[in-house]
């Protein structure tokens, strides 16, 4: 199978009879072969229908404009929100990072190993710490200091760079700055954050200490899309690790770093493979 011949169709629409049959006939009529399909209906078939269809179509790139134009008629008929993408078109990512490197290192390693199906366009940091590490991988590294007095100018420069490097999505790999609503408007549902807690428990900047003080038996990490409400965006992936009374706050942070990097890499990978559909403040992840 040639990667350039593989397409993905993602659909969200009111659930009603005929959606699957109509979409299947559309792809068949255009000579496409469905190679994988996932679907989910909310509220037991009376709410929203969501699906991800992967198909093969020779010479897909040349046919995409015609497919999109023709599918608009079907989408209008069923009230669909949809997008059509070529699997060969890798998303271009920008990674934002501060001092801690574990989440950044995991993304760099998975990219080098070919497990992360994306192009790492650049890394932006408010510290110069990781410059040599990133540039050894042949990736641009830009240091943009951020203070309370320069935050607006820093974000303006960040947005300029994201546009210059044609970035599709932003990954906050333990970037310890809160992005402004103005910044978020440029990348709706395209900024992924890793929070060092199993949300919605222990929001804020020091969740491991809070978890220790509470005496929890599980710690975790949460990857989510960023919204204006801090640590409250749609959750993409979570994982946990069992702990006990022998673990102190430093132990929790050490164990948590492993969970954080794995959870973030999974979420970023699923986003890049078009496996995540939004449903209100939730996600449907076809994995």
Catalytic residues: 231
> Can you read off the two tokens belonging to residue 111?
């990219």
Rounded Cα gap, residues 41 and 46, in angstroms: 8
Q: How far is CA 247 from CA 60, 216, 241, 252, 256, in A?
A: 54, 11, 12, 7, 12
Beta bridge partners of 210: none
Q: Rounded to whole angstroms, how far apart are CA atoms 94 and 99?
A: 16
Residue 54 DSSP one-character state: E
Q: How far is CA 221 from CA 68, 169, 202, 228, 269, in A?
A: 38, 21, 11, 20, 16
DSSP-based three-state secondary structure for 267: helix
């Amino acid at each position: 199978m040639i990667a350039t011949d593989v397409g993905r169709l993602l659909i969200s629409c009111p659930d009603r009879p005929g959606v699957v049959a109509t979409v299947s006939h559309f792809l068949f009529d255009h000579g496409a072969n469905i190679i994988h399909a996932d679907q989910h209906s909310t509220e037991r078939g009376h709410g929203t229908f969501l699906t991800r269809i992967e198909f093969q179509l020779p010479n897909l790139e040349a046919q995409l404009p015609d497919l999109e134009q023709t599918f608009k008629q079907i989408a209008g008929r069923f009230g669909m929100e949809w997008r059509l993408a070529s699997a060969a078109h890798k998303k271009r990512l920008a990674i934002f990072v501060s001092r801690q490197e574990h989440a950044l290192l995991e993304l760099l390693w998975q990219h080098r190993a070919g497990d992360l199906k994306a192009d790492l366009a650049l890394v932006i940091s408010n510290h110069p710490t990781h410059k040599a590490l990133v540039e050894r991988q042949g990736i641009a590294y830009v240091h943009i200091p951020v203070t309370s007095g320069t935050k607006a100018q820093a974000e303006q420069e960040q947005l300029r760079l994201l546009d210059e490097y044609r970035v599709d999505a932003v990954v906050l790999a333990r970037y310890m700055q809160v992005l402004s609503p103005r910044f978020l408007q440029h990348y709706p549902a395209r900024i992924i954050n890793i929070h060092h807690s199993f949300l919605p428990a222990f929001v804020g900047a020091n969740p491991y200490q809070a978890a220790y003080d509470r005496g929890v038996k599980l710690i975790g990490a949460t990857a989510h899309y960023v919204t204006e409400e801090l640590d409250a965006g749609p959750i993409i992936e979570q994982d946990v690790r069992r702990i006990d009374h022998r673990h102190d706050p430093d132990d929790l942070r050490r164990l948590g770093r492993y969970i954080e990097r794995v959870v973030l890499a999974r979420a970023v990978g699923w986003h890049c493979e078009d496996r995540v559909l939004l449903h209100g403040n939730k996600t449907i992840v076809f994995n």
